[in-house]
Structure 1
Amino acid sequence: MNQLLEKLRKKALNLTHDPGVYLMKNSRGEIIYIGKAKNLKNRVSQYFQPNNPSHTEKVRRMVEQVADFDYIVVGSEFEALVLECSLIKQNNPKYNILLKDDKGYHYIRVERGSFPKISAQKQMTDDDADYLGPYTSSFSVTQTVDEVNKIFGLPTCNRKFPEDFKKARPCLNYHIKQCMGVCRGRISEEEYAQTFKEALAYIKKGGGSLLERLTRQMEEAAEALDFERAAKLRDRIQAIRRIADTQKVYLINTENQDVIAFAQNQTHAAVAVLKFRNYRLSDKEDYFFPDVYDIETVRQSFLSQYYMMTADIPPRIVVDEPFEDAELLAEHLKTANGRKVTFVFPQKGDQKKMVDMAFANASERLSKYVSRTGREVAALDALAKLLGLKKPPVYIEAYDISNLGESSKVGGMVVFENGRPLKKAYKKFRIRQIEGQDDYASMQEVITRRLSHYEQEKDTGEGFGRLPDLILLDGGKGHVAAILPIIQASGLDIPVFGMVKDNKHRTRAIAKDGGEISISANRVAFSFVTTIQDEVHRYAIRYQKQVHTKSSLEITLTRVKGIGDKKASQLLSRFRTRAELLEATPEQLAQAAKLKPETAQELFLFLHALS
């Protein structure tokens, strides 16, 4: 055993069983990790057990850098939680989940001039414009600018007015009534200035008082028989109300709450926080965490740090999954906030829909870092949760058996990597050892051969030399039961599930050892599994048809005198289809299977007579 590791293990075994906080340090005395424990001795000693199977790759790398550790004993788990978060905030240890304030400030830019525009900006510049802000939320700034431009029909194009009057046709925004069409040159500078003034009032004061004023102006215009102006004011009032309706998300008996969800692939994670205030989605924050192997630790660490570093704490916090310190954190937030804070973990209903919305946003953030769409990230995450996998399966192999008589039994293997087909890794299998049409035995032969190839090629790390994170079989629990003993006997740890179809050949459920998992309610996972099942079935059927066609041709060719099974097989190895055989000359036929010239000529005439 490493001498330093043994020294640290002995030190850890002398710790107290009381709760506390431990600080891992490197050879320079720098704190690289801070953790809490309800039992210091048990928790810290686990780090220094040689070859601990529960350690993730990140933990192993951290332990390799530990030269010493300190600890602080406290009176309760609650105190340990509070102290841990305080120390993490002060020290920013390398191996902790860190929340960095990288949001920056955001501004609303207000142009000057005859026909000014309103836009969102990340920073102030020394230009001919006024700026409203700063705001910490890019979401709020973007949403506000988008709202005000739509409500008041302000131009968002790059044209300059009045210079660009009538130089081009109005854009799409004009035709869908989201722009007043300044480019037509029919709106006076005075009229535009009044509209722009109202737009600024909407930004600064909100829509409530503006609606009252616009309603009063509309009524006055109608009384003065100025119906054109009254109609414009009516449309503006309707636009404000329509925007307000579409932007609000109403929640059952909940005025203020946060909704939080996490997305993960093999080594990265992202979290989205949706903030609802006054029944309305008012802000969104998202964070990305590289080098993550344990989403449970991320969830616990993030929630503890996030809410201990903000004063904006709503009475209800909705989270996608339960986490270990929920009760302790709720107690601390109640003390700090002066009112009760509740963590909720919904499984259905409107709150679950809000969690799904947060999850979609987290998946979208994660997708930017893994070169995949948010939907693909979400599908892998949803499948992992459905099957009870520790991590989303990046590399999936799916198998199907297809047969048509004794001579046309085949197996197909398709591969999905990061949610997409990896066609260069697809494999075909001819079933050679099984007599009769026995799908279970055929699948056993295919999987056995696949694993034997792994033993031969594992040093390459590619193709058969790469193990899947998940195996899916086109079949029910019988197929799973037939394959699991083979996987277990190999000493490999690969999850195996079946893909079950209904009597109309549509995906119905996931089969596991001894039962089934319904997937119809999980739309994302259902769609993904259906795609995999359809792809592997298509691939196996296509190969089976190729084999059947080749077998039929072999039988046909042996009808020519001088051509047996061996020479027929040689011919079909060179000319794979009937069309290729018909295009071949007698000389080419003779060369492919070493035929006598007269036999080649007879074969040539025979083939063309059949056509």
Structure 2
Amino acid sequence: MEVNESSEEFRAKIKSILANAPTSPGVYLMEGHDGDIFYVGKANNIRQRLRSYFQTNPGDSRYFVSILEKLLVDISFVLTTNEKEALILENELIKQYHPKYNVLFRDDKNYLHIRVDTSKPFPRLETVRRRANDQALYFGPYDSSGSLRNTLNIVNKHFGLRTCTDHEFRTRTRPCIEHQIGRCPAPCVLELPANSYERSVHDATLFLEGRCRDLVDRLKQRMTEASSQTLFERAAHYRDQIQAITRSLTRQNVVLKRAENLDVIAFATEDNRALVQVTRYRDGYPVGNRRYQMPASSIEHPDSALTTFLHTLYERRQDTPPLILINRSISMQKALTDVLSDRAGRNVALRCPQRGQKRALIRAAERNALQHLKQSTAQDLKRLDTLAQCQSLLNLKNLPVRIETYDISNIQGSDAVGSMVVFTDGKPDRAGYRHFGVKTISGIDDFAMMAEMLVRRFNDGETLGPLPDLVILDGGKAHLRAVIEALERAGHIDLEIVALAKERVKKQRDDEPGKLQDLSLRPERVYLRNAKDPIPLHRATAVMHLMAMMRNEAHRTAINFHRKRRRRRTVRSELDGIKGVGPKRRTLLLREFGSVQELRRQSAATVTERTGIPMALAKTILTTLSRQEDV
């Protein structure tokens, strides 16, 4: 077999890199053609780990390993004295460089958290989707909005924390209805007994942390004290709190014999799937249950995958328990234990129990993980059957494992954008979604806009991901013709491209005056490259549902991006144009005062005191706003 020059150069480069690679612990960084770091890894023996990437059969199914010859320019090393330092350094470098291929498990960005900013004098509970790098307390994540609402309902009803926004809190002049129904002490306008609100915040955080037994003991003591002082209404309030907390606990089974705080983590595999089940126990009660989908490469490297998972998981959480149970031993267990203990500020034990109640907890977590994998496998088989039907219906060469769907969004040709939506194995692959801003087309020409987007995508090759097995255009025959001609001129031929046209419905008058009825003219239909007539899609078929879902997802993504871009162009503030007020100061002023109208009512001294803006600039801002109001 003849080897081209670039392959020979690549092999020579790799041979040189491996010859100079150290055999000690450390971290390696893979650099791409644009100078970006696309992967960061750790190893006890760096040279041995790197050799595994470049074997004839590396046994690593990760996508970037199969295209290393195209991606890799150089590998650099950072040596450490032990495994613990390598583990910490890898994590820091991943946060610094954000490598494209260091994705281990699904991010928590779609899950909800409760945030409590204890730096404020009267904090409230906030619902957020991301943990910020601040000093606030975060609880969660909650995998459903229903469980979050139930928790907030208990806290708001029985712990007496404010629910108003910071702006409402600062500007309120009289108590709101929450105070009138006994759910808020109205710290916005009323003076409270010393430390009473702080005590309520502390009680709420105990409840959110799952330390309910400690909380119930505290409340029982307060109830007894209130009764002895004949403060029966206050005692009844504490009684209601205790009952609400007890009811929230009785919904769950008590599994542990002692009031222990621990996490049970099970790594499970089924066929080509991997999953980690995390069950949290606080005071002996199960308070959380989460599952994390792992990449297929975790099956081949379970030791490394579980180590990195644990390190990343407990970096995100503030409530690392003193005991973590895992269902398999890992080689860097001692180093990871030291890292978790240092981070928590106390001893954290990482154990793999072999018998007793702890082993029973591990087995229960493994059963739950395997059951979830079996259910998802059955769903995948259905999706695979649908893809096979799609291949047969559209006469495709290959099974459409990766499908890309495209759509255009604009208003009379302005702010024209496009979307690329990716479905892998019949499921949305949101990491592969892309947005395109139309660059070369002006005016109203959806066909040319669609063609430009497709040409740019295929000119970029595999930079935007593997090439698709099927491309679906949201449009009709004219869209398909324009795209194919543009791609062929650019040298991209033999692509599987179809166009999906929406159902066309015409309104006609009914017999009753003033009423219209729907009359469907043409169903959903697919236009093929070399076929004269389209293929109709019947509503009841799985192929129809899949293709319509992909088309609708592309349409939704394009519209959202178009709206965001148009909003960014059109939205302006009255603060724009004032010398000395840039985006940061404008955001600061609006966040502090809520609106320009409220800012107008302030004095220059108040603006300076609350925002730190110089007095001279504060006077200029207020003078300018006053003139604008008079115009």
Task: Classify the TM-score, shorter chain.
Answer: 0.3 to 0.5
TM-score, length basis structure 1: 0.42
TM-score, length basis structure 2: 0.41
User: For the pair shown, which has the larger CA radius of gyration, 1 or 2?
Assistant: 1
